[in-house]
Chains A and B, each alone.
Chain A
Amino acid sequence: MHIPDGFINASTSLGAGAVAAGGIGVSLRRAAQTLQERQAPLAGLVAAYIFAVQMLNFPVAAGTSGHLLGGVLAAVLVGPWAAAICVAVVLVVQSLLFADGGVTALGLNITNMAIVGVFGGWAIFQLLRRALPATRPSVVASSGIAAGISVVLAACAFVLEYALGGTGGVSVGTVLAAMGGVHALIGIGEGVITALTVGVVLGVRPDLVHGAAYLQGPPLVLEGEPARPSGR
């Protein structure tokens, strides 16, 4: 969903740039307040992982591919503030080094994927996991569903930008229907990949899953040590 230069006019791109800068600025401050010691290297890893999987386009329809966005995955692992930063870092590297996503479109892309995708998806994750029993499968399911929806939300953000400043002459309704449809399909892939990854990390290192911190799991027992209540 990387917008190239030229799709959206300058004023809308600038406006999105302001939104992006504000959103990432807030995220940096909040991450500074809430990022726990052990999460920092994980956050770097999450950014690297998102970069990698964003290269793995999978076919979704005839002549069309999709790829992971990764915003909800990142949020479930390291929290929404760090996640927004991770996605933004990936987008900047992609744009500046790989010519993927326009340089003047960075504000748009960061707004859509790092802000809307992450925080919209995180909100849905929170709603879902509160509605479900407090179990690991609930975390996995909520992650997957929220991730799938986040892709559609990001696509809708593009449609809004297009409505405000699209340079093409195509009607907004047409773009909305087309973007919504294809990104619903891509969202399915996103949901599956997110659920799988969260499931794996939950199985191996549940303490690294920020989104599962609310679970009252059995006390972590280290070899040779007596069981003690898990603190946080």
Chain B
Amino acid sequence: MFLVGGLLVAVGLALLVSGFASSSPDGLEKVAQDKGFLETARDHLLDDGPLAGYQVAGVDNQRLSTGISGLIGVLITFGLGMALFALVRGLRSRGDDSEPTRAP
């Protein structure tokens, strides 16, 4: 099943690979750093959330912490996405079971 396989890939990447990702600042942050406007950044409003910074509060091993946070994120995103798109499909006029119009 493609869906299951795809989800396993996403879960695998988030859980197992994310802990090994580069920790260098990303392009925008590096530009801000080099050019001197990084300090205009304010602290994130939700910086003390349990998953902030892709680290699970209470898990000390950093790679594991990142991996678990990624797993949680993938599952939440999948669930939210599915729910939203189910809602979106339900928005088509009730009782209209015809094929949707072709996308542009």
On A, residues with C-beta under 8 Å from B are 1-7, 28-37, 39-53, 55-60, 63-67, 79-82, 85-86, 89-90, 93-100, 102-104, 155, 158, 166-170, 174-175, 178-179, 182-183, 185-186, 204-205, 208, 210
Contacts and interface: CB of A to CB of B under 8 A. Distances in A.
A179 B102 contact: no
Interface of B: 2-3, 6-7, 9-11, 13-14, 17-18, 21-28, 30-32, 34-37, 40-47, 49, 51-54, 66, 69-70, 72-82, 84-86, 88-89, 91-92, 99-103
Contacts of A47: 77-78, 80-81
Contacts, number: 233
Contacts of A46: 81
Contact of B23 (A7, A50, A57, A185): A57
A82 B85 contact: yes
Contact of A55 (B37, B42, B54, B82): B54
A85 B84 contact: yes
B37 A58 contact: no
A183 B18 CA distance: 21
Given A44-B78, A81-B103, A49 B6 contact: yes
19 contacts: A1-B26, A3-B28, A34-B102, A34-B103, A35-B85, A42-B3, A45-B6, A47-B81, A55-B21, A57-B21, A64-B30, A65-B21, A85-B85, A97-B72, A97-B73, A98-B51, A99-B44, A169-B36, A183-B27
B17 A48 contact: no
A105 B78 CA distance: 23
Contact of A208 (B2, B34, B51): B2
Given A85-B84, A182-B31, A55 B46 contact: no
B81 A170 contact: no
Contacts of A175: 31, 35, 37
Contact of B81 (A43, A57, A79, A169): A43
Contacts of B76: 93, 97
